[in-house]
Amino acid sequence: MNYTLLNDFSQISANEWNTLLKDSIQDTPFLRYEYQKTWWEHQGGGEWADAKLILVTAHENNQIVGIAPLFIANYENEPAILLNGSIEISDYLDVIVSKDNHVKFMSGLLDFLLSIDDWKKIDWYNLPDDSPTLIVLKEEAQKRNWNHLEEVYHPTPRIALNKSFEDYLSGIEKKTTP
């Protein structure tokens, strides 16, 4: 995989991004191009005023296979790489990559991030508890002899929808009035 650092969301099309997202390990509204771009433009609620965008794409055979929407900011007194959308505003953040390319993408991404200066730790909040990224990060940290810490702050309740929201609503037993 060939990794590229983009400095701005204008360097990737919304269509290319959202098409990849449809087959990604996570497909949530918080990972859509429109949301990610808007979040970055406002840097949350302005809480990351000195942040630096690290938008990493990976290509294989001239086709995009992965996107890591990240940024560097001072967090807990150290420069950290965070997921774009962190920490309080967005849920269900992750990298954008298919299940088949996930492990290879993550390993290459971590190697690529080592070429970027100005950070001391990777601090990825808001990864879903069922994200395969959690497992890969732990394995890669062990391979690299990095410290790894995983914490669960506030599990978010959710309901898996089999088809669509409308199908879900139609299956709910309705209350009747006497």
- Has residue 123 been placed in a domain? yes
pLDDT tens, residue by residue, 56-110:
999 999 999 999 999 999 988 899 999 999 887 788 899 999 999 999 999 999 9
Domains: count for the chain = 1
- Measured between its terminal Cα atoms, the distance across the chain in Å is 64
**pLDDT value at position 29?**
92
With 0.75 as the threshold, say if the pTM is over it.
Answer: yes
pLDDT tens, residue by residue, 65-76:
999 999 999 988
Residue 39 belongs to a domain with what CATH number? Answer: 3.40.630.30
- Has residue 135 been placed in a domain? yes
Range(s) of the domain holding residue 137: 2-153
CA separation (Å) from 40 to 77, 79, 103, 143, 159? Answer: 21, 18, 26, 32, 28
Strand pairing report for 78-83 and 121-122: parallel
- Has residue 171 been placed in a domain? no
